[in-house]
């Protein structure tokens, strides 16, 4: 069985993905909710009933060809830091991490598929792909789902579709979403109006980090809300169309900013570079916001294109549980801020200054190998 | 704008943040009155969407019989009651959807783009649906064959229907 450290050691497939849509769409995610017939839903089931459902599902999931050699553990066997790392990687949900025995996570080696067993529904399976690839992610996950139907009997009603614990997921059980990076729309004050338009057509929008309406790092998630009354393809097609439009708006906003106020753009990117390269104490909010601008610099040619990927990995690695895993001990908030700054400095140490805008293909003089002596900036 | 509950012209529009997401409901005069949506300040959209059940909050007709859990409705598979449904706004097992059919119908109106599933069907079911469709087609061909007195063709069709029926059971 795959060990936790082996799973986490390698960057996920989606982190090393392409740069479609000018880097505005970071990932696409498809989630399907399924439940077993004649078994109480996890939230209502007694301990032994939950265990019985898990005993049915886990072998069936592990036997899938796509899940060969997968990471498969009951949540009670993982430490709270390990569970939190999986949450930060979007491999399990916060709700799932709160569970212990009787619930499990089965994650494919390259982290492209991740299945939560006994979350709110018996089975919540998700597929993650880099860039805008909702259709590809759905067809891969749908194949997994069809394979599972050979050994598990899912609750289905001809009128209501797949039956779920909460009626908000009825029908297709599908939640399709994309993570977007929209600094151009934020800097040009158009974000509110774009997100409002997206919301008006029945799609959900939320900031990926930050409480309530606050968004950190200019990162947003757009997803479908309705799961019944339309086919999976229709839901996904609409979402892809809207996301493409938002990505285009973002691209236009970036071009316009460069045209109208290049000094302001250079200043913001330069300052972000300065702080990230030389700060010794940085909290997660500041780091997220500066990494967002550095990422923007990577897409605008201020830095080599590799920088975008580097920023995406850093966004993950500066989260609290990742920092704790990295240090191998419990950290105080102050220690976290120091170690966060140290990791960022070491990863960016060979990144040249953005004073002269490079051509996006010029990747010389840049390597993203970590410095063996971090902190020697 | 149509009412989410009865398709009449909507005159009352409610927007509220539910679980951090913006939810919007459009109601006509009658449905708004029926659901007690007269005082938006003390009114929760979630109650309307998930809890506006007969006998539940936001309904005028709601007078649950005292002492009888959930008006006597209980899922035979998992013992979930109507009271449980109002409390947690989720179901106990997949059979609850049949047990609380009326409540489900009311809950999902206005919640989704539609009220009937259009989309993926489990493979086994697909085969059954396809077979039933095929039997229907054959039956209408059989009627035509008998009407045009093509008895030989009718016999062949009858055999085909019999074969499909045997697979079905």
**Tens place of pLDDT per residue across chain A (377 aa):** 678 888 877 767 666 655 544 589 999 999 999 999 999 999 999 999 999 999 999 999 999 999 999 999 999 999 999 999 999 999 999 999 998 889 999 999 999 999 999 999 999 999 999 999 999 999 999 999 999 998 899 999 989 999 999 999 999 999 999 999 999 999 999 999 999 999 988 899 988 876 666 688 999 999 999 999 999 999 999 999 999 999 999 999 999 999 999 999 999 999 999 999 999 999 999 999 999 999 999 999 999 988 998 999 999 999 999 999 999 999 999 999 999 999 999 999 999 988 655 444 444 344 444 343 433 33
How many Å apart are CA A152 and CA A64, to the nearest integer?
Answer: 12
How many Å apart are CA A215 and CA A23, to the nearest integer?
Answer: 18
* Contact assignment for A161 to B119 by CB distance below 8 Å: yes
Q: Shortest CB distance from A37 goes to which of B88, B94, B119?
A: B94
pLDDT confidence of residue A17 = 59
Q: Is A260 on the interface with B (CB under 8 A)?
A: no
Per the domain annotation, does B65 fall within a domain? yes
Nearest to A58 by CA among A142, A116, A110, A100: A116
pLDDT confidence of residue B160 = 83
How many Å apart are CA A373 and CA B2, to the nearest integer?
Answer: 65
Q: Give the list of residues 6+ apart from residue A266 with CB closer than 8 angstroms, or none.
A: A302, A354
Same domain, B47 and B20: yes
Same domain, B49 and B103: yes
Instruction: Number of A to B CB contacts under 8 A, please give it.
Output: 123
Same domain, B17 and B82: yes
Nearest to A24 by CA among A136, A131, A137: A131
Output DSSP code: residue A307. H
What is the domain range of residue B103?
Answer: 12-111
What total number of domains does chain B contain? Answer: 2
Residue B20 in this model has a pLDDT that exceeds 70: no
* Contact assignment for A156 to B113 by CB distance below 8 Å: no
Per the domain annotation, does B4 fall within a domain? no
pLDDT confidence of residue B11 = 73
Same domain, B101 and B133: no
Per the domain annotation, does B85 fall within a domain? yes
Percentage with pLDDT > 70 across chain B: 57
Same domain, B105 and B74: yes
Same domain, B51 and B130: no
Per the domain annotation, does B94 fall within a domain? yes
B-contacting residues of A 202-231, CB under 8 Å?
Answer: 202, 204, 206, 212, 225-231
Mean pLDDT score, B10-38: 60
Q: Shortest CB distance from A204 goes to which of B21, B89, B112?
A: B21
């Amino acid at each position: 069985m795959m060990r936790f450290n082996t799973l986490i050691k390698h960057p996920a497939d989606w982190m090393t993905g392409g740069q479609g849509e000018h880097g505005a769409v970071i990932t696409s995610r498809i989630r399907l909710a399924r439940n077993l017939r004649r078994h109480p839903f996890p939230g209502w089931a007694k301990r032994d009933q939950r265990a019985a459902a898990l005993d049915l599902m886990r072998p069936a999931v592990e036997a899938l060809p796509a899940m060969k050699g997968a990471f498969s553990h009951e949540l009670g066997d993982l430490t709270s830091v390990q569970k939190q790392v999986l949450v930060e990687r979007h491999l399990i949900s916060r709700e799932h991490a709160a569970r212990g025995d009787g619930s499990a996570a089965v994650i494919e080696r390259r982290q492209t598929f991740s299945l939560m067993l006994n979350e709110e529904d018996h089975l919540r399976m998700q597929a993650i792909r880099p860039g805008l690839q909702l259709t590809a992610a759905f067809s891969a996950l749908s194949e997994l789902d069809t394979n599972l139907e050979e050994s598990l009997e899912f609750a289905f009603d001809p009128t209501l579709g797949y039956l779920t614990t909460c009626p908000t997921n009825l029908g297709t059980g599908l939640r399709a979403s994309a993570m977007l990076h929209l600094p151009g729309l934020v800097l040009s004050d158009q974000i509110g109006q774009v997100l409002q338009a997206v919301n008006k057509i029945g799609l959900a929008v939320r900031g990926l980090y930050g409480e309530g309406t606050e968004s950190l790092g200019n990162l947003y998630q757009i997803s479908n809300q309705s799961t019944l009354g339309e086919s999976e393809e229709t839901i996904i097609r609409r979402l892809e169309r809207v996301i493409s439009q938002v990505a285009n708006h973002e691209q236009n906003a970036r071009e316009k900013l460069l045209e109208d106020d290049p000094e302001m753009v250079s200043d913001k990117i330069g300052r972000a570079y300065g702080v990230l390269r030389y700060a010794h104490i940085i909290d997660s909010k500041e780091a997220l916001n500066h990494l967002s601008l550095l990422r923007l610099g990577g897409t605008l040619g201020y830095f080599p294109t590799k920088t975008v990927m580097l920023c995406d990995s850093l966004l993950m690695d500066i989260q609290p549980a990742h920092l704790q895993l990295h240090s191998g001990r419990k950290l105080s908030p102050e220690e976290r801020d120091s170690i966060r700054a140290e990791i960022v400095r070491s990863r960016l140490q060979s990144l040249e200054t953005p004073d002269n805008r490079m051509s996006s293909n010029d990747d010389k003089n840049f390597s993203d190998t970590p410095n063996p002596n971090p902190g020697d900036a | 704008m149509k009412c989410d509950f009865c398709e009449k012209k909507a005159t009352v529009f409610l927007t509220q943040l539910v679980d951090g997401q913006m939810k919007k409901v459009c109601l006509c005069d009658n449905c708004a009155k029926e659901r007690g949506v007269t005082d938006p300040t003390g009114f929760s959209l979630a109650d309307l969407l998930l809890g506006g059940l007969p006998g539940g909050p936001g309904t005028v007709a709601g007078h649950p019989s005292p002492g009888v859990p959930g008006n006597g409705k209980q899922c035979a598979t998992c013992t979930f009651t109507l009271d449980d449904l109002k409390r947690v706004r989720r179901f106990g097992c997949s059979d609850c959807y049949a047990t609380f059919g009326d409540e489900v119908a009311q809950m999902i109106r206005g919640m989704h783009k539609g009220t009937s599933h259009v989309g993926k069907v489990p493979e086994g079911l697909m085969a059954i649906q396809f077979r039933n469709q095929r039997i229907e087609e054959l039956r209408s061909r059989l009627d035509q064959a008998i009407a045009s007195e093509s008895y030989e063709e009718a016999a062949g069709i009858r055999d085909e229907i019999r074969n499909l029926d045997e697979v079905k059971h």
